[in-house]
Amino acid sequence: MADLKEASVTLPSDPASVSAARKYVSKVLAEWGMPSGDEVGDTVRLIVSELATNAVQHTRGQSPTFTVDIELDRDEQLRIGVTDSHPRYPRRLPAAVQQDNGRGMVIIRMLTAECGGRLSVSPTNEGGKTVWIALPWTVPVQGRPRDAAH
């Protein structure tokens, strides 16, 4: 088995691309062995929806596309990044702010932490940014029990 599996898709910054990003991630995770009804898989799809929505809504037309990168490292860690070309990093809103939107990063951070993962943001060489989540991969590797003693 390869130490690193990777997949990537670039989509137009359009609201219809949010569901396309979610479907793409679902397809890749299924190919990598995650069952369709897996709770972590459902959480990952929700996180991807929020990240893609942010890439579409908060780049103010300065990012014509966004890219979703998926990495599975040694069947231990799943990383998903959403990259856009807008230089502004996501901002955390104060809890006291009352508005109908703007809670995406709070949701992403909470869901990521609940799965035992972490969230990070890194700049791109082109002046944009990538918002990454990293989660433990909980799917047993085929042919090897998950908790086998070595």
Give the tens place of pLDDT for each residue, 69-95: 999 998 899 999 999 999 888 876 665
d(CA 63, CA 129): 11
106 Rama class: left (phi>0) / alpha (psi -120 to 50) / beta:
alpha
d(CA 149, CA 146): 9
For the chain, how many residues are written? 150
Q: pTM of the predicted model, to two decimals?
A: 0.85
Q: At 106, is the pLDDT very low, low, confident or very high (cuts 50, 70, 90)?
A: confident
**134-146 pLDDT per residue, tens:** 999 988 765 444 4
Closest CA to 9 of 23, 19, 21, 26: 21
Both tokens of 74, joined, read 């040694």
